[in-house]
A and B are shown apart, each in its own frame.
Chain A
């Protein structure tokens, strides 16, 4: 099992550009999450999904959209990137009470 994978690992965007981050899990988990991690701020939840076709807002959803068309994939979109979205993004899936995290995507918005 590959566990939770994230694509890409690194990305640099200019202000106003758009992009999609892909999270994939091969563990057949229902719940999936997108977090951002900033120095001194800890992990903050952006959006989450409790199953295929469902999404819900987390703590910091503004400027992001998500889709869960297939159970194994959870996509995070930035329609018009801003410098404030420079961060490390982590995806996680969940089995029982345990979250399994991906390796992260480091995004820089210039």
Chain B
């Protein structure tokens, strides 16, 4: 059974204070690992897909990295508008269905 554990559950940062969110996973044959952003009252919005260990992707202040056991979402010099819940999901090669973690709620104070 595929499993995804995200930590921490909640994170408070000051504007400009860089940090990382963790996504630990177990999957039988990784097809892809996904990061989504979810704003309050809205549906998740796709950020990144990572396919193999060592891969990295960047978008503005966000950078996602992948190892064989975990992924990190690094946030550099965050701004208040980066406040959201960040969801991680994995999909195995044998499934049409991604397994989601419970998310990390990020609040960036000005």
- Could you list which residues of chain A lie within 8 angstroms of chain B, going by C-beta atoms? 4, 31, 33, 40-43, 45, 48, 50, 58, 90, 92, 97-104
Contacts and interface: CB of A to CB of B under 8 A. Distances in A.
Contacts of B97: 33, 45, 48, 58
A92 B100 CA distance: 13
Interface in B43-71: 43-46, 49
A9 to B, nearest CB: 10
B87 interface: yes
B78 interface: no
Interface of B: 31-32, 34, 36, 41-46, 49, 87, 91, 96-98, 100-103
Main secondary structure of the interface of A (DSSP, over half): strand
B44 A90 contact: yes
B42 A104 contact: yes
Contact of B98 (A4, A99, A100, A103): A99
25 contacts: A4-B43, A42-B87, A42-B100, A42-B102, A42-B103, A43-B44, A48-B96, A48-B97, A50-B96, A90-B44, A97-B31, A97-B34, A97-B49, A99-B34, A99-B44, A99-B98, A101-B36, A101-B43, A101-B44, A101-B45, A102-B43, A103-B43, A104-B41, A104-B42, A104-B43
A90 B87 CA distance: 14
A41 B102 contact: yes
Nearest to A44: B100
A104 B36 CA distance: 15
A33 B41 CA distance: 19
Given A41-B102, A42-B103, A100 B41 contact: no
A1 to B, nearest CB: 15
A101 B45 CA distance: 7
Nearest to A103: B43
Contacts of A104: 41-43
A33 B99 CA distance: 13
Contacts of B103: 42
Contacts of B31: 97
